[in-house]
């Protein structure tokens, strides 16, 4: 029998997130190169980790084809210069790809199968637009397994507004504005940059270097937001301003068993407490984090009041509001998304999970009074994912 | 000192109307401490198969870009400038396409000056300059980097080199001054003089060891790491050591001695005909002292003289033959006609045959079966091949798995029925018509009617070899040069019967063997041997008439051939040499000499006297006695004239007779098959420029002649 082990988050990095499309900064950068550069940055930040000790590389992507295909974990490991003895695989749970990579290899570490593993994700939504090449089974619609809205994420968000009329467009816009402001403040305070790995980018104007997220709009105003079009239905509520955008980016993190981290002298940023995934009706997929969080809390034997910091993926403002509302948390609660979220930073689907973890880890170090935090996100086709983490810096006497 | 900014380069720009311009794009990159790096990308907008080159428009754009950056640096907007290239390519050097059209010495000089004008700005920006060598950096491409303050290199760069002297040029955009002052005189001599003569280039690790690049980064994140490193240098947190930078002692003690050693090496290796290596040597010697500006001016003058001279023009012609014409052989049928080769048969198991078998199995990776008269010979041949495979393995050229694969593919047999499924059968048996005829006639009983038959004959008629074949249309000449693994030429002999499928297959197979093939008609000696037979026949004729060996050697020295006629005769073997002269005399009795003396020398075994290391020290005393007795010795001038005119006459006849498609093919053959130097352009540019063509047939092989403008204006070097 393998020995059960404690699972720790040692470190995580990501590339700056770019805007998808021809004008985006990564248009001429391959998807696999993005995640490889994140992995190289991660390994260079952790020189005490011997490459050959890494037992697994799990890399997620939603659209696994072309430069984002070919068993990404294995190919990225080879391209990042890891020894050929290091195995790897690809993983997909749409938006929660990187999160699932973390929970899957984390579970294997917990089981005692691995000592060290890399988990991450990449989504180049410019080169691989959402839904490209998909061929949904006609039964989904003919047997009404899902509503027609289920495959259109904006439409699912409109459905949440329908279900909860008290979540107004104005409330979503205010949430979105706040997210932009928090990201701007976090950048100004240098909270985000430490976990970014710069990427050389090629353009018509020659080589450049991506050092910051491309999507944030610090100049955003409420007036501006209110004037935006609602592309998913006439007089709707979902706009480009209160939703995450279409983005390119990659992330990677290093997980270890507690014993391996100790043996190699690695600093522990977070400890894995529990995780859960849960399903909801696909046409209101944004509600997914509610049941997944309840499940994860139950597994951990914790209640929502034990959670001191939240990193919630902001696929749509309304979807975060629904989560906060369910758990009785204010829209502007300071424990939630302290550095802002995906509405400003962007959401390259399968890479976002590790971004949430990087930011939570950074906040843990700054908040020794907090013992538990969680990362959660909604997932296309009606799912939610939640990971609960413990702060190793926790100090009962703090503040 | 030259004020480069005051020069008018418009004449060069006018010459380069169709230049593929390599643009200088600039983007700002943020560094630590709110500093900014201006990153210049050199990109001609084409993919890596059309490397960045540096023509006049390119250089002027680069200069203007750097002027703009210097202004920004003065305003404090940028804190460093870095230059890099497009994927896989920094720059492949000067655009030499128009060098043949340069109308005057002064215009030629401008070409050097423009390079100094543009590249020199990298050292006067007011902020540190960097070149990130991300890919191929040849000649002027590398000189961009040398003009900068710091250099990083990508671990996977294909090649870094200053190959100029092999092309009749010198590193003339700062390289001849900057390189020795960066990496020391001995290292610089290796890069500028020795490596080009061996066609050797530097890998990334070499550039760091030599001190050309300051640091090496893996290619996965080369640019990111280079920028971070530059950030450290600009911030002062990274210090750069230059251990190979020459100090006072090196300048006082080592410098001149190293130049002297290199000069002697050059003289013994290539003789003194080729100008550019010696000019480079002079520039390197002068780089010991004086200023950068003086170094640049010396380069300008040297480059101007070389551009105006004949050797550079001939060299560029030769370079284009080797790089372009060799890759698209004249008269080659459509590749689609070629038959796929899935098994090769080699008749014979001697040394030559075994070398064929080794080459075929390595390059084609299909079963190769060898055969001979008895099992002992066959076993010996297979053992030799297995031994060679083991050597490749021990040198790390192939893996153990590949070694196993190749060994398993090679078999030997005395049972010719094992040839039944071979698609390609090549013979390397005794050079006698009857033997070869019988060998093929016999093998035809076993192979399919379509199997291609190839003969390696050097002196027999391929058509006659096929006289006893039921299907002579599948026979082709496939003439290798010794040593088989090294020499890059194959003469593919197209007989009147050879069909298109056979010819196409032969050309495709030559390509797969990584050889350059030239199609020739089935005429005696094909190309290379006929030309060498002319030269050697004349040399022996001079000896036979009483001319001392030394006079003959001296007479041919102006060619600058890689070896003297007598060294060549010893290399191919005196018996073989005598046989070659005999066969050519038999074919063309009024134009080719046979030599009884050569047969006698072959009996004796040698012509040259050598020391213990094999270095030639003179002529063998007995050999001298053997050839003594001639009564009408010739002067050196007479011999040179006879050989030049004889070659012009023979080549003209070959062209008139359609032996090959054009004079270019003759030149390609002698360059690749006999190592004739670029500075001669092979043979015909030389024969034109010394007047032999005019004397012999009242014309020239090339119109206009391949000459520099100095042929009209005297130039002193």
Tokens of A358: 């990087």
Distance (Å, whole) CA A57 – CA A50: 14
Are the beta carbons of B27 and A203 separated by less than 8 Å? yes
Q: Is A36 on the interface with B (CB under 8 A)?
A: yes
B184-194 pLDDT, tens digit per residue, is: 999 999 999 99
Distance (Å, whole) CA A280 – CA A292: 9
pLDDT of residue B703: 94
Instruction: Give A-chain residues touching B43 at CB under 8 angstroms.
Output: 206
- Quick check: A248 pLDDT over 50? yes
> What are the residue boundaries of the structural domains of chain A, listed by start?
7-127+245-390
The active-site residue, picked from A95, A124, A128, A253, is A95
Q: What is the CATH number of domain B4-308?
A: 3.90.226.10
Sign of the CA dihedral running A339, A340, A341, A345:
negative
Question: Which CATH architecture best describes the domain A7-127+245-390?
Answer: 3-Layer(aba) Sandwich (3.40)
Instruction: Give B-chain residues touching A202 at CB under 8 angstroms.
Output: 41, 87
Positions of chain B with pLDDT lower than 70, given as ranges: 711-717
Are the beta carbons of A205 and B221 separated by less than 8 Å? no
Orientation angle between helical segments B663-674 and B528-544, nearest 10 degrees: 70
What distance, in Å, lies between the first and last C-alpha atoms of chain A?
43
The average confidence (pLDDT) of chain A is 96
The total number of residues shown for chain A amounts to: 399
Q: What is the mean pLDDT of residues A350-357?
A: 98
Distance (Å, whole) CA A202 – CA B331: 42
Q: Which residue of B has its CA nearest to A35?
A: B220
Are the beta carbons of A208 and B30 separated by less than 8 Å? no
Q: Min CA distance, B73 vs chain A (Å)?
A: 19
Distance (Å, whole) CA A90 – CA B287: 58
Distance (Å, whole) CA B126 – CA B132: 19
Rg of chain A over Cα atoms, rounded to whole angstroms, equals 20
pLDDT of residue B711: 62
Distance (Å, whole) CA B243 – CA B255: 16
Residue A253: active-site member: no
| CATH 3.30.420.40 applies to domain B528-657 | no
Are the beta carbons of A206 and B27 separated by less than 8 Å? yes
CB-based burial, B60-80: b 16+ in 10 Å, e otherwise: bbbbebbeebbebbeeeebbb
CA angle (B197, B203, B205) in 5-degree steps: 130
Q: Which residue of A has its CA nearest to B228?
A: A198
Q: What is the mean pLDDT of residues A77-103?
A: 98
Tokens of B593: 């000499």
pLDDT of residue B585: 97
List Cα–Cα distances, A346 to A16, A88, A313, in angstroms.
10, 27, 10
- Closest-CA residue to A281 (of A181, A188, A382): A382
Give bridge partners of residue B411 from the DSSP assignment: B369
| CATH 3.90.870.10 applies to domain B335-521 | no
Q: Min CA distance, A80 vs chain B (Å)?
A: 7
Distance (Å, whole) CA B629 – CA B681: 37
**HSE-up of residue A364 (Cα within 13 Å, Cβ side):** 27
A57 φ/ψ angles, rounded to the nearest 5 degrees: -130, 110
- 10 Å CB burial of residue B354 (0-12, 13-18, 19+) is buried
Chain region(s) in chain B for CATH 3.90.226.10: 4-308
Q: Is A301 on the interface with B (CB under 8 A)?
A: no
CA angle (B557, B559, B560) in 5-degree steps: 70
Chain region(s) in chain B for CATH 1.10.1040.50: 528-657
The active-site residue, picked from A128, A347, A362, A367, is A347
- Closest-CA residue to A249 (of A224, A273, A219, A216): A216
Are the beta carbons of B26 and A205 separated by less than 8 Å? yes
Are the beta carbons of A207 and B223 separated by less than 8 Å? yes
Distance (Å, whole) CA B284 – CA B295: 9
Q: Is A132 on the interface with B (CB under 8 A)?
A: no
Q: What is the mean pLDDT of residues A223-234?
A: 96
H helical segments located in B513-656:
528-544, 549-556, 565-572, 574-587, 596-604, 621-627, 636-656
CA angle (B97, B102, B104) in 5-degree steps: 165
Tokens of B224: 């990111």
Q: Min CA distance, A37 vs chain B (Å)?
A: 7
Give bridge partners of residue A247 from the DSSP assignment: A19
Instruction: Give B-chain residues touching A30 at CB under 8 angstroms.
Output: none
Asked if A230 contacts A50 with a C-beta cutoff of 8 angstroms, the reply is no
Distance (Å, whole) CA B221 – CA A165: 50
3-state secondary structure of B183: helix
A209-225 pLDDT, tens digit per residue, is: 999 999 999 999 999 99
Distance (Å, whole) CA B411 – CA B383: 10
**HSE-up of residue A314 (Cα within 13 Å, Cβ side):** 31
B334 φ/ψ angles, rounded to the nearest 5 degrees: -50, 130
């Amino acid at each position: 029998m393998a020995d059960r082990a404690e699972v720790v988050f040692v470190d995580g990095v990501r590339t700056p997130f770019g805007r998808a499309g021809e004008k985006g900064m990564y248009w001429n950068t391959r998807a696999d190169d993005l995640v490889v550069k994140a992995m190289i940055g991660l390994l260079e930040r952790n020189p005490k980790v011997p490459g050959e000790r890494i037992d697994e590389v799990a890399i997620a992507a939603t659209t696994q084809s072309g430069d984002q295909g070919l068993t990404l974990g294995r190919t990225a490991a080879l391209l990042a210069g890891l020894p050929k003895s290091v195995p790897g695989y690809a993983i997909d749970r749409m938006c929660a790809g990187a999160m699932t990579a973390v929970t899957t290899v984390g579970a294997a570490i917990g089981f005692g199968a691995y000592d060290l593993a890399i988990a991450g994700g990449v989504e180049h939504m410019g080169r691989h637009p959402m839904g490209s090449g998909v061929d949904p089974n006609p039964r989904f619609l003919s047997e009404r397994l899902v509503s027609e809205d289920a495959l259109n994420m904006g439409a699912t968000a409109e459905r949440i507004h329908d279900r909860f009329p008290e979540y107004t467009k104005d409330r979503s816009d205010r949430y979105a504005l706040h997210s932009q402001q928090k990201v701007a403040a976090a950048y100004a305070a240098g909270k985000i940059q430490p976990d970014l790995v710069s990427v050389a980018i090629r353009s018509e104007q020659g080589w450049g270097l991506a050092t910051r997220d491309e999507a944030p709009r610090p100049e955003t105003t409420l007036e501006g937001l209110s004037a935006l079009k609602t592309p998913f239905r006439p007089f709707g509520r979902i706009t480009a301003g209160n939703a995450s955008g279409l983005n390119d980016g990659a992330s990677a993190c290093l997980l270890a068993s507690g014993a391996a981290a100790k043996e190699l002298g690695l600093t522990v940023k977070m400890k894995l407490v529990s995780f859960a995934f849960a399903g909801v009706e696909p046409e209101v997929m944004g509600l997914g984090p509610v049941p997944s969080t309840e499940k994860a809390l139950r597994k951990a034997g914790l209640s929502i009041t034990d959670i001191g910091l939240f990193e919630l993926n902001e696929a749509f403002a309304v979807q975060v509001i629904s989560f906060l509302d369910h758990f009785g948390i204010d829209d502007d609660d300071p424990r939630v998304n302290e550095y802002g979220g995906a509405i400003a930073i962007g959401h390259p689907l399968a890479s976002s999970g590790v971004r949430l973890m990087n930011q939570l880890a950074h906040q843990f170090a700054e908040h020794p009074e907090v013992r538990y935090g969680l990362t959660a996100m909604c997932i296309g086709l009606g799912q939610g994912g939640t990971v609960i983490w413990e702060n190793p810096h926790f100090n009962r006497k703090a503040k | 000192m030259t004020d480069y900014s005051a020069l008018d380069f418009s004449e060069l720009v006018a010459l380069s109307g169709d230049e593929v311009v390599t643009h200088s794009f600039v983007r700002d990159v943020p560094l630590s401490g709110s500093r900014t790096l201006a990153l210049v990308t050199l990109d001609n907008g084409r993919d890596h198969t059309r490397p960045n080159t540096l023509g006049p428009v390119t250089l002027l754009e680069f200069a203007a870009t750097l002027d703009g950056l210097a202004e920004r640096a003065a305003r404090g907007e940028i804190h460093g400038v870095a230059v890099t290239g497009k994927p896989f390519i920094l720059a492949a050097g000067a655009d030499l396409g128009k060098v043949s059209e340069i109308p005057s010495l002064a215009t030629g000089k401008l070409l050097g000056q423009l390079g100094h004008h543009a590249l020199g700005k990298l050292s006067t920006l007011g902020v540190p300059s960097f070149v990130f060598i991300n890919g191929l950096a040849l000649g002027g491409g590398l000189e961009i980097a040398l003009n900068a303050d710091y250099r990083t290199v990508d671990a996977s760069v294909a090649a870094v080199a200053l190959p100029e002297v092999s092309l009749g040029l010198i590193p003339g955009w700062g390289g001849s001054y900057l390189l020795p002052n960066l990496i020391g005189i001995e290292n610089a001599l290796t890069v500028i003089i020795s490596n080009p003569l061996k066609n050797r280039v530097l890998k990334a690790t070499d550039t760091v060891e030599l001190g050309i690049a300051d640091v090496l980064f893996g290619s996965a994140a080369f640019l990111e790491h280079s920028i971070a490193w530059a950030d450290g240098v600009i911030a002062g947190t990274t210090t750069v050591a230059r251990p190979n930078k020459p100090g006072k002692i090196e300048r006082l003690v080592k410098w001149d001695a190293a130049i002297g050693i290199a000069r002697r090496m050059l003289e013994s290796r290539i003789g003194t005909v080729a100008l550019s290596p010696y000019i480079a040597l002079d520039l390197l010697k002068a780089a010991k002292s004086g200023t950068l500006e003086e170094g640049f001016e010396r380069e300008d003058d040297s480059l101007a003289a070389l551009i105006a001279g004949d050797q550079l023009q001939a060299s560029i012609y030769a370079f284009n033959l080797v790089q372009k014409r060799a890759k698209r052989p004249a008269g080659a049928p459509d590749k689609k006609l070629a038959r796929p080769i899935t098994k090769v048969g080699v008749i014979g198991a001697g040394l030559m045959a075994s070398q064929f078998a080794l080459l075929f199995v390595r390059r084609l990776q299909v079963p190769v079966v060898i055969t001979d008269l008895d099992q002992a010979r066959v076993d010996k041949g297979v053992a030799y091949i297995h031994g060679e495979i083991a050597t490749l393995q021990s040198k790390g050229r192939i893996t153990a798995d590949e070694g196993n694969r190749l060994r398993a593919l090679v078999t030997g047999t005395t049972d010719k029925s094992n040839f039944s499924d071979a698609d390609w059968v090549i013979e390397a048996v005794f050079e006698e018509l009857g033997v070869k005829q019988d060998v093929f006639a016999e093998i035809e009983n076993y192979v399919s009617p379509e199997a291609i038959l190839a003969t390696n004959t050097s002196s027999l008629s391929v058509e006659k070899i096929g006289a006893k074949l039921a299907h002579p249309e599948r026979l082709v000449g496939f003439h290798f040069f010794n040593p088989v693994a090294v020499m890059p030429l194959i003469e593919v002999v197209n007989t009147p019967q050879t069909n298109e499928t056979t010819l196409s297959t032969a050309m495709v197979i030559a390509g797969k063997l990584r050889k350059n093939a030239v199609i020739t008609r089935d005429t005696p000696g094909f190309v290379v041997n006929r030309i060498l037979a002319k030269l050697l026949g004349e040399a022996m004729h001079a000896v036979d008439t009483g001319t001392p060996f030394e006079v003959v050697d001296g007479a041919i020295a102006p060619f600058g051939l890689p070896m003297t006629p007598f060294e060549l005769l010893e290399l191919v073997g005196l018996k073989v040499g005598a046989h070659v002269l005999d066969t050519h005399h038999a074919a063309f009795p009024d134009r080719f000499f046979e030599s009884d003396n050569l047969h006698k020398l072959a009996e004796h075994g040698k012509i040259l006297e050598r020391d213990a290391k094999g270095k030639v020290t003179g002529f063998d005393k007995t050999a001298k006695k053997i050839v003594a007795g001639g009564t009408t010795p010739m002067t050196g001038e007479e011999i040179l004239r006879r050989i030049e005119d004889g070659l012009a006459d023979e080549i003209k006849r070959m062209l008139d007779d359609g032996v090959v498609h054009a004079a270019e093919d003759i030149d390609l053959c002698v360059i690749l098959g006999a190592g004739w130097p670029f500075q001669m352009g092979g043979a015909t540019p030389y024969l034109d420029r010394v007047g032999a063509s005019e004397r012999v047939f009242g014309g020239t092989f090339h119109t206009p002649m391949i000459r520099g403008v100095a042929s009209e204006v005297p130039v002193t070097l």
